[in-house]
Structure 1
Amino acid sequence: MNKNPALRALGQALFWVLIAAVLFYILFPFYWAIKTSLTNSAQLSSQALQWFPNNPTFQNYVDVFRGQPFGRNLLNSLVVAVGTVIISLLLSALSAYALGKFRFKGKSILMYIILAVSVFPQIAVLGGMYTTIRTLSLYNTWWGLMLSYMIFTLPFTVWVLTSFVRDIPTELEEAAFVDGATPMQTLFRVLLPVMTPALVTTGLLAFINAWNEFLFALTFTSDDKAKTVPVAIGQFSGASIYENPFGLIMAGSVIVTVPLIILVLIFQRNIVSGLTAGAVKG
């Protein structure tokens, strides 16, 4: 029985209204950040709630790099995030292969421990990590930040890749073993190419977490040239203690957000295939 055309049209209208509301909710903060970054300080003080800037200017973007070592902060974030992802993926690929394809005593307990660590709050391990970083003389260094970031990236990547490796057909391994391949050769030459969607997905999510991390970066760096961009943006200061440089903060936030959007657009197909891998079994 066909539905009433009027009800069908009303349902479609409500559906598109809902879509528009969701898009507005998602995109409006980013639009407001761009709008604020294109507005000078005088206009922000007197006309902060205007929907469009009267005289758009890129001066805030210029001042971001002029007043502080923001370029160096961007380099710090890039090196630390990329290094964290590479080390995490390498270690998690080895761990996932062992946890997903081999049987040994205590494997289930180990998996639950990894899951528990991944949901542990950062503040709970902050004191111990600070002592460790200081003892290893890694304060104000890239390696210190990488070591601390892997606390939350490594358990996540191990858990996701283990689920993916478990669903890879065993026949691939058996064929490699018949050809005389060692377990390490099987992993790097046979399984890793198959794991590309999962590696891209977990790597990108780990990169976003490391790129946006604030607490560890704030605690383990004190030199302005050693700080990452989230900390640098959070410590932007105005001409006086009574001025909040919203224009500079938004300009820095837009600069930091654009690379993440570009990465997601480039790897969106791999992300979808990686997230849905193993969801349907034949």
Structure 2
Amino acid sequence: MNRRVLTYAGVAAVAVYCLAPFYWMVVSAFRRPQDQFSNAPVPAPFSVENFTAVFSGDNGFGRALLNSVVVAGITTALTLVIGVFTAYALARLTFRFKNLVLGLVIGTTMFPGISQLVPLLKLFTGIGWINTYQAMVVPSLGFALPLSVWLLTAFFRQLPFELEQAAMVDGCTRGQAFRKVIVPLAAPGVFTTAILTFIAAWNEFLIALSMVNRKEMQTATVAISKFTGVSGFDQPFGTQMAAGVIVTVPLIIVVLVFQRRIVAGLTAGGVK
């Protein structure tokens, strides 16, 4: 009994620790601007002025949200297309130096992202990519692909080889067996990879801040960091918190709706 109580207490403590910042962000978002420095645990009275202010004036937050959707969507789509084929080759095909290639792919994640910004900035300036979607998509793709390849490789490896052999005995080519048999069975892993990639690209800040200096091309995370107060000099805590809620809630909804698929993809292959 005592062990069960301690277990529940530990889980509750972790949950409170993780959810407390988000709770305070929501509470601050619903405060009136004049109450933004209040420490009350519940806003009184409730106000939506901060949410109205987010989309008013010249913040350009609506366009920034659209830019985030475009960048995260393209990054996710390209990551899945490249990652699925790469992971399949590493998991199912036999060729020399396969393990070395996989090691190099994972090794690229060890480089700090900020160390690559200056070379990328110089390169993109030279080819005219500054203030373009590709200047944000390509670096995000480089950071997302290694993790995606690693996850999908582990997932493809646990699928029985006999499935492809049976499909090819029935007349399928290797490509048809991959498309009609392996990809449908790999859907949980692919879906999990897509969700993780989209969340990482959606929350990305440093690349978007460095590669874009035009307001109409900035993403939501950059737009939030550049909010100004009424006078232009005060800190707009309320609007930043409201914008943070707007950016975060869609991700929470997606995770809650598809949590079973995400858990299935993350645990697939754990037990044979």
Q: Please classify the TM superposition score into its range, dividing by the shorter chain length.
A: over 0.9
2:46 pairs, out of 56, 65, 80, with 56
2:81 pairs, out of 80, 83, 90, with 90
Code of the residue aligned with 2:158 in structure 1: it is D
Code of the residue aligned with 1:61 in structure 2: it is F
CA drift at 1:275: 0.6
Paired residues, number: 271
CA drift at 1:88: 0.5
1:25 pairs, out of 14, 17, 21, with 17
In structure 2, how many angstroms separate the alpha carbons of the residues matched to 1:198 and 1:86?
15
Contact 2:33 2:49 in 1 (8 A): no
Contact 1:85 1:206 in 2 (8 A): yes
| Pair 1:111 & 2:102 matched | yes
Q: What is the Cα-based RMSD across aligned positions, in Å?
A: 1.4
What are the ranges of 5 or more consecutive residues in structure 2 without an aligned counterpart? none
CA drift at 1:36: 0.5
CA drift at 1:34: 0.8
CA drift at 1:151: 1.1
CA drift at 1:60: 0.5
In structure 1, how many angstroms separate the alpha carbons of the residues matched to 2:228 and 2:215?
13
| Pair 1:245 & 2:236 matched | yes
CA drift at 1:21: 2.1
- Higher mean alpha-carbon deviation, 110-119 vs 11-20, is at 11-20
What are the ranges of 5 or more consecutive residues in structure 1 without an aligned counterpart? 1-7
| Pair 1:37 & 2:15 matched | no
Contact 2:105 2:146 in 1 (8 A): yes
Aligned to 2:196: 205
Larger Rg: 1
2:112 pairs, out of 116, 121, 124, with 121
In structure 1, how many angstroms separate the alpha carbons of the residues matched to 2:178 and 2:265?
18
Contact 1:200 1:267 in 2 (8 A): no
Residues 134 and 181 (structure 1), Cα distance of their counterparts in 2 relative to 1, 3 Å cut: farther
CA drift at 1:185: 2.1
Contact 2:220 2:247 in 1 (8 A): yes
Code of the residue aligned with 1:52 in structure 2: it is V
1:228 pairs, out of 203, 213, 219, with 219
The percent of aligned pairs where both chains have the same amino acid is 41
In structure 2, how many angstroms separate the alpha carbons of the residues matched to 1:138 and 1:41?
39
Query: What aligned pairs does 1:1-282 form with structure 2 within 5 A after superposition?
Result: 8=1, 10-45=2-37, 48-67=38-57, 68-240=59-231, 242-281=233-272
CA drift at 1:241: 5.1
CA drift at 1:76: 0.6
In structure 2, how many angstroms separate the alpha carbons of the residues matched to 1:39 and 1:119?
42
Calculate the TM-score normalised by the size of structure 1: 0.92
In structure 2, how many angstroms separate the alpha carbons of the residues matched to 1:161 and 1:151?
16
